[in-house]
Chain A
Amino acid sequence: MPKHLDNFIIMHPDDNCATALKDTLPQTELYIKDRVIVIIQFIPLGHKIALIDIKKGDFVKKYGQIIGKATRIIKAGEQIHTHNLKSYYLEVKKK
């Protein structure tokens, strides 16, 4: 079941991203158990952030499922969107 954090929601325990429940300002601190994630840039409602450091080529997971592959390093607290994530499904389909 989805888990609420301050300003964000994690849709599945396996996810490495969280989705903003409201527009969130840079420097906002996000507490997950004993960790603190600092939001790096402005995150609009409905947009995603990385919960951990993600390497180039790693999968991003939401709903416990792969939603794409990182095209560059994504730091914890950084926004995940079209500039650093691409569809893995369409990549596989092309092969």
Chain B
Amino acid sequence: MCVNRISQQIASKLKGAVALTHPLGCGQFGLDYSYTVRTLSGLGSNPNVYGVIVVGLGCENISSELLAKNISKSNRIVEFFDVQETRGGSIAAIEKGVKLGKKMIGASKEVKREPFDFSHLTLGLECGSSDSISFISANPVVGIISNKIVKLGGTSILPEFTEWIGTEHLLTKRAVNIEVADEIRSILNKFLENAKKLGIDFKNVQPTPGNIKGGLTTIEEKSLGTIIKSGESPIQGLLEYSEKPKGKGLWLMIEPGLDIESMTGLAAAGAQVIIMTTSRGSPCGNPISPVIKVCGNKRSCDMMTGNIDIDASSIFTEKTRIENIAEILWDKLKATCNGEKTKAEYLGFDDLAISRVNTLLSILYDR
């Protein structure tokens, strides 16, 4: 993080390169340490990445060497160096990075595009800036796509566990075995208890005043509309934040429902594409995985046309069937896999944030 600007300057001089920077301190500990290592290693290992240059400062506890070692397990070109070990400081480090990058770009030209089927695809399922409209339009559309990916032998990941609350009877029924069902039950049951211990009354948290104004009445109604993005596929298991699925099919990721952190975790888990439903309109993207925006709200589609990839509002205005919008989204997903840019990519929106376990700190500082 102390070399963020150096990484950005290197990337700005290399065609097709992105700088993965993050703003939080280098002395990570506890769960925040493992989240950061797993996320940065995972982002570098995502199938969308050809090669990686890990730039370190030299004194951080997550070393460039450690990240390079983790990323190299995914069989791709990895270089690493520390700025404090580079004579000439940051200017020399930028030159070094650009030189390494140019070499990588040259080598990448040898790689030939090959066709692959959907069993190789990992899809991230996200929703953000939602309202009651999403839950009867864009979210059911995404559910159809997730089902289809799983049926074709692919992988799909549903994050945002705080929005599964009230639906454990459904999620546990879809679990592939009793252990997975128990895990789902345990995390959701304990959540309300743990929140209470921290002085949070969940009744006042969900649904939000905006949700209620939009017509959502209860927590279970909101969660049902959220998990519909995962269709009806069996649930293979729970993943920790940024953890890679251990097999194909649908997986749940334990992540507390924050869009940028969530999509960073999905990309780190290997999602090559993320579909995000957004009813009020969210512009955010991801540096590694293209984000396809699906919006069911006519007003938002009109107001933020430069941010929305799939306009699902004809479900309301023309009674278009949800299945028909799903066909349009399926075509967009295929086009995105084949390199067509999403709106967030055109705009260069490369939001990245690693989830933090803030509650741990609040306990440490408790006096």
Which residues of A line the B interface, CB within 8 A? 1-2, 4, 9, 11, 19-22, 44-48, 62-63, 65-68, 80-82, 85-90, 93
Contact = CB atoms under 8 A, between A and B. Distances in A.
Contact of A19 (B165, B215, B218): B215
B173 to A, nearest CB: 11
Contacts of B166: 87, 89
B136 interface: yes
A1 B212 contact: no
A81 B166 CA distance: 18
Given A1-B322, A45-B215, A46-B215, A21 B132 contact: no
Contact of B220 (A11, A21, A82, A89): A89
Contacts of A47: 132, 215
Given A21-B136, A47-B215, A48-B217, 16 more contacts: A9-B136, A19-B136, A19-B215, A21-B315, A21-B319, A66-B220, A68-B221, A80-B217, A82-B217, A87-B218, A87-B219, A88-B218, A89-B166, A89-B219, A89-B220, A90-B218
Given A1-B322, A2-B140, A67 B217 contact: yes
A39 to B, nearest CB: 14
A46 B220 contact: no
A65 to B, nearest CB: 5
B218 A68 contact: yes
Contacts of B224: 62-63, 65, 67
A88 B215 contact: no
24 contacts: A1-B322, A2-B140, A2-B322, A4-B321, A11-B136, A11-B140, A19-B136, A44-B215, A45-B133, A46-B132, A63-B224, A63-B225, A65-B220, A67-B221, A68-B221, A81-B212, A87-B166, A87-B203, A88-B218, A89-B218, A89-B219, A89-B220, A90-B219, A93-B192
Contacts of A22: 316
A16 to B, nearest CB: 13
B360 interface: no
Contacts of B221: 62, 67-68
Contacts of B192: 93
A88 B311 CA distance: 34
Interface string B299-341: 0000000000000000110010111000000000000000000
Nearest to A64: B224
A18 to B, nearest CB: 10
B316 to A, nearest CB: 5
A62 B170 CA distance: 14
A81 B218 CA distance: 9
A1 to B, nearest CB: 7
B133 A46 contact: yes
A20 B133 CA distance: 9
Interface string B164-178: 011100100000000
Contacts, number: 80
- Of the candidates B140, B167, B218, B322, the one having the most CB atoms from chain A within 10 angstroms of its own CB is B218
Contacts of A85: 217-218
Nearest to A47: B215
A88 B224 CA distance: 14
B311 to A, nearest CB: 15
B351 interface: no
B228 interface: yes
B153 interface: no
B261 interface: no
A67 B167 CA distance: 10
B214 interface: yes
A68 B133 CA distance: 19
A2 B136 contact: yes
B195 to A, nearest CB: 11
Interface in B224-240: 224-225, 228
B131 interface: yes
A70 to B, nearest CB: 11
A31 B165 CA distance: 35
B280 to A, nearest CB: 12
Interface string B264-306: 0000000000000000000000000000000000000000000
A89 B191 CA distance: 14
